[in-house]
Amino acid sequence: MNQTSVEAPPQVELALLLKAYRLMLTAKTMAETYEDNKAICSKYVHSTSRGHEAIQLATAFHLTPKDYLSVYYRDESILLGLGLTPYELMLQLMAKRDDPFSGGRTYYGHPSLRREGFPVIPHQSSATGMQAIPATGMAHALSFLESQHLLEASEGRVALCSLGDGSVTEGEVAEAFQMAVLKKLPIIYLVQDNDWGISAKGSEMRAMDAYEYAAGFKGLERMRVDGADLVDSYTGMAEAFRIARNERRPVLVHAKCPLLGHHTSGVRREWYRGNDLNEHMLLDPLPRLGTYLLELGQTADELIAISQEVKEEVQAHYERALAAPNPDPESFHLHEFAPTPVVEEKGNRAPEKAEKVTMVDAALHAVDDILKQYPEALFYGQDVGGELGGVFREAALLAKKYGDARVFNTPIQEAYIVGSTAGMSAVGCKPIVEIQFADYIWPGINQLVEELSKSCYLSMGKFPVQALIRVPIGAYGGGGPYHSGSIESTLLNIRGIKVVYPSNAADMKGLMKAAFLDPNPVVMLEHKGLYWSKVAGTEDAKTPEPDEDYILPLGIANVVQSASEEQIQAGNSLAVITYGMGVYWAKAASKELPGSVEIVDLRTLNPLDFATVEAAVKRHGKVLVLTEEPLMNSFTESLAGRIGKTCFQVLDAPVFTLGAENLPAVPLNVELEKMMLPNADKVLKSLQELLEY
């Protein structure tokens, strides 16, 4: 800090400097309290802001209630600067019932807040780079809503994303930076650099710091500030906010800070810091600010009095938090999903004189209806915008009809496509996104798991993520190993998301609209082989087009073919439980067994309509569970096991399963593909064996 004489006016108002000094003392006293009470406060791993207080408070003082904030796990002083109390933070530290962020479900320094007078702070994961994409999604949503005149750009809303410097090496951070500069988004990336990861120094982890790295992103304004100096941090952040608010473009602020506390309470600084800790202590922002206040005319007695007041306040907050009640154990299951408004089938599924449509056109028309009705809706992904409108023409002409701000192409960034929906949803947008092929979803799985699936549960229902993620799936006709995969079992192991798999045009349209209106993340699997009904035996995938008001709730299976009462009474019937292409393999095979086969199309894999499955099994006593996926460790085997346990007393045979061979990929050659996948002949063989059992 430059020396300032007593006569010179301060660069920051004295009242704000004193507020910062009090809050720095608060953060320091809290950290000391936690250390003095390790047996209690280190029961759950936590991290404090010691050393980072100056840049964090400077940032907090510039945020307004109209802004959006993404913090990382060390940002306790940002929260104090916004007006959260030590008591509230301690409730989270001790996992208490009244923790305002998560009700005792997640770690200290992991806020999720919707409160009048505060910036919106959506839930996020443990914030080692993953938060950059949802935060950029928030800025993207602000920009989009402004482009549609649903928000006023003149109001200057911004998103702020806080990161540790070590996290900037994450590939997902590069995706976020790329979209921020590509779309000129109003976001500030605050990178706090203390030169440490956990036990690895910056020189071990990176060839450059975040400021140098950011030079590669054309259009990203870059700044350096002294993160241990309150005045330099405050004036630097003032300029960053001016650029983001007024010029509506992205900024990166690199703030160098000391690390005075432990990385976390679980990794003790004395294990690895050595003399480095003494060097960092010389940069402690608290005595630096104290010295500056003395230069401005404050007395030592005044500063000592503030310190004593803070110690008493923090101790009182600690004792109150310690006595606060724990969560009710019986509440552990609440908020897996937010309630959906779609609970019954509505509209006309088969209007008189309606023409038959393919599944791909039913999906296109559903999205068209949605965009027409909901101005906050948008659709993006690889190649869905512009002239092409998707590699399957599933978005044909939508970009021309609704404009490039609402229907647009993204870079090849599956993580951004998926993860940005969390930020979009938090701001109030209703995103529909597409992963071009199921085999391409893997880079987006991290975001799907960490940022989307957990948000509703860990925020106690404050931040469900409304996201419709479309995924073309399945094999036919030589698509090969990177365009033919089935991924439903992987998705179904992710709790907190819904998975839909329609098999015909009417279901596609009705389920698409229900999925869009669902306030939770919904992955819609759309079989490419059914899109146009070009595969032999899939003609029934074309149906009369439902009307514009048709909507079909998730979680309701459909009996698409019934067995005859005569065959049921003769004990010569069975049920096939399936979905997607399996419906048509079962239909083709059952032609050789007239009246003997009931086919249940699940339509939604999570939530699962097990009641319909159970009723079918009880009617027949024999069941085949059919899938296109390889069987080993699959959803199909899991469902078969559940049927075997629940329906054991009514079964007349073991639960049969049939799926693809247990191979790592679908081969390119069509004859090899046929050998790997189920087909009508293989299904018929299983049905005959089961009937004869």
Going by the DSSP 8-state scheme, the letter that residue 551 receives in this structure is B
Q: Residue 691 CB: number of other CB atoms within 10 A?
A: 19
483 is an active site residue = yes
How far CA 251 is from CA of 81, 237, 277, 464, in Å, comes to 21, 10, 31, 28
* β-bridge partners, 604: 500
Considering all CA atoms of the chain, what is the largest pairwise distance in Å, rounded to the nearest integer? Answer: 103
506 token code pair: 């009417």
Where are any strands of DSSP class E within 58-214? 68-70, 159-164, 187-193
Where residue 103 falls (left for φ over 0; alpha for ψ -120 to 50; beta otherwise) is left
Where are any strands of DSSP class E within 91-217? 159-164, 187-193
Q: Which residues of 604-643 are buried (b: 16+ CB within 10 A; e: fewer)?
A: bbbebbbebbeebbebbbbbbbbbbbbbeebbbbebbebb
- Pairing mode of beta strands 498-500, 221-226: unpaired
How far apart are the C-alpha atoms of 95 and 340, rounded to whole Å? 29
Q: Residue 161 CB: number of other CB atoms within 10 A?
A: 30
40 token code pair: 């209690």
252 token code pair: 């990166």
What are the DSSP calls for 288-339, one per residue? Answer: HHHHHHHHTT--HHHHHHHHHHHHHHHHHHHHHHHHSPPPPGGGTTTTSSPP
Residues 342 and 553 sit within 8 Å (Cβ to Cβ): yes
How far apart are the C-alpha atoms of 421 and 426, rounded to whole Å? 8
Active-site residue, selected from the candidate residues 262, 483, 527, 620: 483
Residues 166 and 202 sit within 8 Å (Cβ to Cβ): yes
Tell me if residue 380 falls in helix, strand or coil: strand
Which residue has tokens 């907050």? 317
Active site (catalytic) residues: 483
